[in-house]
Each structure stands twice: as C-alpha cells, then as structure tokens.
Amino acid sequence: MGCGKSTVAGLLRDLGFAVVESDAIVRELWAKDVKVREAAVARWGREVLDESGGVNRRKVAWIVFTNAAELEWAEGLLHPRVGARWRAALAAEPGRDWVVEIPLLFEKNLASGFDSTLCIWASPETQARRLAARGLSPTEMAARQARQWPLAQKAERADLVVSNDGSPAFLRRQVQWMAERLPRPPL
C-alpha cells in the first residue's frame, strides 16, 4: 500500500503488457455490482452507501480494517469475484503478455499460479507520505498495514523487486529492465 503498484502497472501497460488491476475491480464491484451492494447493505446497513447509491469504500474500510471478522466476510464476498474476472481476462486472450496486480498475492497464497512475481517496494516514510496525500490518517494506515505482510517479507518472496523511492525516471528504467526479463508466452 502506497508503494506504487498502480504506477508500475501503468508503466507495464505502456510497454505493451495487458494489465488486470485487482484494486480497480474491487472499486468497480463496490460501485456497480448490485449483488455486492445488496450484501454490504444487508451486513452493515444503508449507512455504508454513498450519495450515488454505491458502497462508500471509506466507510467499509473503517469497518473491515478494525474488525478481522468483517474483513474476512468482505474478502469472502469480493475475492472470488475478483479472481473470476482476472482468470476470465487471461483465458480470453491466452497469448497476451499479462500482468495481474494483486495486493494480497502472498497473503492469499496465489503466487504459485503465476510465472513470476514482482514486489514494488517503497520506504515506510514514502508510503506514509503517499497514503497521507490520499487522505488516510496514521490510524487508518496502521490498521490497513496490520492486515498485510510486512513489505520486507513480500520482497523476500518475490522473484523481482522494484524500488519506487526514487525519481519517476528511475522507476521507468527499472520497469523497462524488468519487463525485458519477464517470461513471455510462446508465439
């Protein structure tokens, strides 16, 4: 969180990779999926809806990141749908060069389903600055980070690690270098 997964995904997209962003799928499910919205309202009440009738992700985040049982319930609701979406995308175009962004890749034991894994790394100070810019309080940051593995543990497990603590140009050079080394499907 706050390391730049979406930025790196965009850079890989610019290099010709097809990208599935799990976070974007989750945002879409909360905003537009009627069954997800109905389940959220049944679980937490109408106060979790925003003015447009979609699920207010900030309110849901407060609920799930302060209560392990609620997080487990939300993950049970969303993760199968997210997985189905990215699996369908990959199956529809098996010859493409795919990148699937999954924030909880290691925590949910999904890494073995991929040819290689990548960790985007940023210092705790950089993460905190980025998350504060998104409007998260230190309490909200800590609650979310407590539900994820430490970044060092993810970096240790990943096949490749990209540092996103420097300049945008440095990040682009790293992503270019890495993209040249990723396994590609046979033609």
Lowest-confidence segment of 37-41, 147-151, 157-161 by average pLDDT: 147-151
The answer, yes or no, to whether residue 33 has pLDDT greater than 80, is: yes
What is the structure's pLDDT at 185? 59
What is the structure's pLDDT at 145? 85
60-75 pLDDT, tens digit per residue, is 999 999 899 999 999 9
Architecture of domain 1-17+97-181: 3-Layer(aba) Sandwich (3.40)
The answer, yes or no, to whether residue 19 has pLDDT greater than 90, is: yes
More confident site: 92 or 142: 92
140-153 average pLDDT score: 88
The answer, yes or no, to whether residue 140 has pLDDT greater than 90, is: no
How far apart CA 129 and CA 141 sit, in angstroms, is 11
pLDDT over 90 percentage in the chain: 79
**What is the DSSP track for 8-22?**
HHHHHHHTT-EEEEH
The answer, yes or no, to whether residue 184 has pLDDT greater than 70, is: no
What is the structure's pLDDT at 186? 55
**What is the DSSP track for 30-86?**
HHH-HHHHHHHHHHH-GGGB-TTSSB-HHHHHHHHTT-HHHHHHHHHHHHHHHHHHH
Find the helix or strand (DSSP H, E) in which 101 lies. strand 98-101
Lowest-confidence segment of 3-12, 81-90, 94-103, 174-183 by average pLDDT: 174-183
What is the structure's pLDDT at 147? 83
Task: Calculate the average pLDDT of the chain.
Answer: 92
Lowest-confidence segment of 82-86, 154-158, 183-187 by average pLDDT: 183-187
